[in-house]
Amino acid sequence: MKLETLLPETLRDWAEDARVPHDLADRALRGRPRRPMITVSFAAGATAAVVVAGVLAPRLIPSEAPGGGVAVAVDPSPVAPSPGEDSAAPTPEDVRAPDSVLTDTENPLPKKLIAAGRVAVSAYYVWAREKIGDRSDRRHETWFLYNAGTGTYEQTDWAKLDVAPGMKLAAVLERDLPARRVGVLDMTTLEVVKWVDFDHPVADVSWSPDGTKLLATAYDKDPTIRTHVSADGNSWRSSDPGRTGFQVVDVASGRASFHPVPAQSGSRRSAISAFRWSDDGTLISEPDEVKGYDNRLYYDLDGRRQDDAPKDLVKTYQRAGVSPNGALYADEGTPPGPETTVKDVATGKVVGRQKMLQLLAWADDGHLIALGCAGACENEFHNGLVLVSIDGKTKVQLSGNRENTQRPRSWEPLFTRR
C-alpha cells in the first residue's frame, strides 16, 4: 500500500476512535513529556502468571471511574480454543479493538501482541553494549516490531524506530547511528514506503501525537558511545556526541526542516538528551539542566525558544502522565513502597493506590499498564507488565517477568495508541 493511502487512512481511523473533550487543548498541555532518565526494562523468565495467553481472554467492561469518564473492569471469562486449534500459535490480532486485553506471559521475549484498552506494545527492543574499540563501546538495540500480517513480533535490523498512533506506520533509522535518512514503514508488510533524507544526521526519532510529523534529534556522533570503559564495565566516560538541534518532518510531503539548538552549556546530559513532543504536538522540549530535571525548556516547531512552560502542566515521575479524559494523573506513592498513586488533577487528592513500581500508560480512564514486582517483591528488578485498576484491586499479568532488568539482554516496550 502506498504512503499516500496509508497516512490518510491511519489518521481517519484514529480520529474516528478518539473521544475529544471540549477542553482538549488545555488538557493536552497538562501531560508530562517522556523522561529519558527513567528507563524501564522487562522480560525474560517464564514464571507463573495470573493469566495464561491463549487460554484466558479478558475483556474490558465499561463502568464508572473516579473523577468522571469511563473505566473498565476485567472479565476473566475463559475462552476455549477451537477444536484442533493450536493455542500456542500466534494469530493476527485486531490492534484497534478498544476493549481487548492481550497477554503473552509464556515467552521470555514476547511473540504475541500485548495490549490493553487504548494502548499496545507496538514494538520492543533488547539492549546490549557493543565493543567498538579497546576500551570503548556503544549501546546496541535490537528492535522487534509487531507484524499485523503474521500476528507476531518480528526481529528487525533497524537501529531505532517509533510507531505512529494507529499502529499502521513506523519511522525507522538505519545503522550505524547517526543516520542520514528516516524511513516510513508499512507495519503490515514491514516494507519502507518512503525515505526522507537529512542534511544533519539524527540518532532519535518520534511521531507527533497526531501522527502527521516526525521529530528527529540531530547529532554529529552516536550519543551512546562510551570511552575509557573499565574491565568490569562499571566505570567509563561519555563522549560529547555534538548534539546540533532537531529535524521536523512533514510525513505526507516528505519535507524535512532542520532547526539548530545547541546543547546547554557545560551539561553533558544535555549533549545526549533527545527532544520530545508536547502532548498536543505544538511544542518541543528538552530537560532544563539549570533548574533541574523536573523542569523543561520549550521550543516551537521552528526552534524558537518559548519563555513559559505550558499552563496547568502536571509534573510527575510516572510515564503514564494524565488520563485520557484529563481528570486524573499517575504519581508516586509513599516510601518505601512499592507503591504508586492516581490523583485528581483539579485537587491533587489521591483517588487510588497501587502496589506497583511504576505506572507506564493509561489503558483507559480506569486502568493503567504498570511495572509490577514478581511474587512478594523481594527484588524490585524482578518484574513485568501488569494491567491494574485505579484502586489496585484488579490486576492482570500482561508479560512474563525477568530476573534482573538492570542487565543487558533485557527488553523494553514501546507503547502506542492503537
Delimit the domains of the chain by residue range: 3-417
pLDDT at 52: 28
> CB within 8 A of 111, min separation 6: which ones?
90, 104, 152, 153
Dist CA 397 CA 378 (whole Å) = 18
In order of 355, 356, 375, the CA distances from 335 in angstroms are 11, 12, 19
pLDDT at 293: 61
> Cell 539548530 appears where?
260
Total count of residues recorded for the chain: 418
pLDDT at 322: 95
> Cell 500480517 appears where?
149
> CB within 8 A of 261, min separation 6: which ones?
244, 245, 246, 275, 286, 299, 303
Are 296 and 310 in contact by the 8 Å Cβ rule? The answer is: no
Dist CA 238 CA 358 (whole Å) = 28
pLDDT at 380: 73
Low-confidence ranges of the chain (pLDDT < 50): 11-89
Dist CA 411 CA 399 (whole Å) = 11
User: What is the maximum alpha-carbon separation in the chain?
Assistant: 66
Dist CA 141 CA 138 (whole Å) = 10
pLDDT at 62: 38
pLDDT at 265: 77
pLDDT at 37: 30
Taking the C-alpha atoms of 399, 401, 404 and 408 in order, what is their torsion angle to the nearest 10 degrees?
-40
Dist CA 95 CA 116 (whole Å) = 10
